[in-house]
Structure 1
Amino acid sequence: MSTRTTWALVVETTQGIGQRKHMAAEVLAHVEGSREEALAELERRARGHVPEHPSSPRRRRLVRTGDGFLLVVDGAWQTFASRFTVGELLADSDAPPAPEPVAARSAPPPDVPDEPAAPAVAPGGADEPDELDEDGIPVRPAWLGRTGRP
């Protein structure tokens, strides 16, 4: 059985302004497959990235580096950068457990009557389902629009 490599797509972005400017890192996604596949997905995300700063960009430059991309955005007064890198994921303390092999299961799951699933209800009682981004994360956070405290 061959194992597929899992790649982490990471962006390090300039946060804050002035003397409080600093870099913050975020894992954008994980990609299983080849390094070339991971770099292709990273490039797609780098090209579409819209950083928080500057609020009025004057110029954008995307540069390919050895392990990813560098996005340099000039604003009216300052320049901001976002570094996109791809790296092999070696460990993850919060990774979901690996699925149990099919042969190791002791008994088939009990028969469950086929019932239509209840429609998803958006927070706040709206009758529309939550919109999910490409990673399956709700676009609208559950707390948005909540009127009371839990």
Structure 2
Amino acid sequence: MSKIVIAFWSQTGNTESMANAIGEGVVSEGKKVEVLNISEISPEDLNDVQAFALGCPAMGVDELEECEMEPFVEKVEKISSGKTIALFGSYGWGEGQWMRDWEDRMTAAGAKVLDGEGLICQEMPDESVLEECRNLGKQLALI
């Protein structure tokens, strides 16, 4: 049985809630899942993983968190060619530009972004967003 990794960074818990719901979707399809804070995983742990999810809220001026997540993503870009990646996160302002930029980066690195776009929500995910997250997990599990 293959394993799906969901790695995230969360400041307020909103992106963590999304990560856990994605994990529920993976499990519902009979796959093993590891839902890990970015501090619990290294990019090298994703070398042999064909499909995984990365989550981060928008920070600053519509960007990834710069101390932990940005350096992690920079390293993942180097190993992501041919892999399927689901991107997700929450935001409090703006229109989701950080996610569009992130999608472009991962696509340029040779990854296939699941559904062609990341899953975003404004502020705390409600039940409808959590259901979207579970569905994303199901799709990821079918890779």
Q: Normalized against structure 1, the TM-score is what?
A: 0.25
Structure with more of its chain in strand, by fraction:
1
| Structure having greater relative contact order (Cα 8 Å, sep ≥ 6) | 2
Higher percent of residues as helix: 2
- Larger-Rg structure: 1
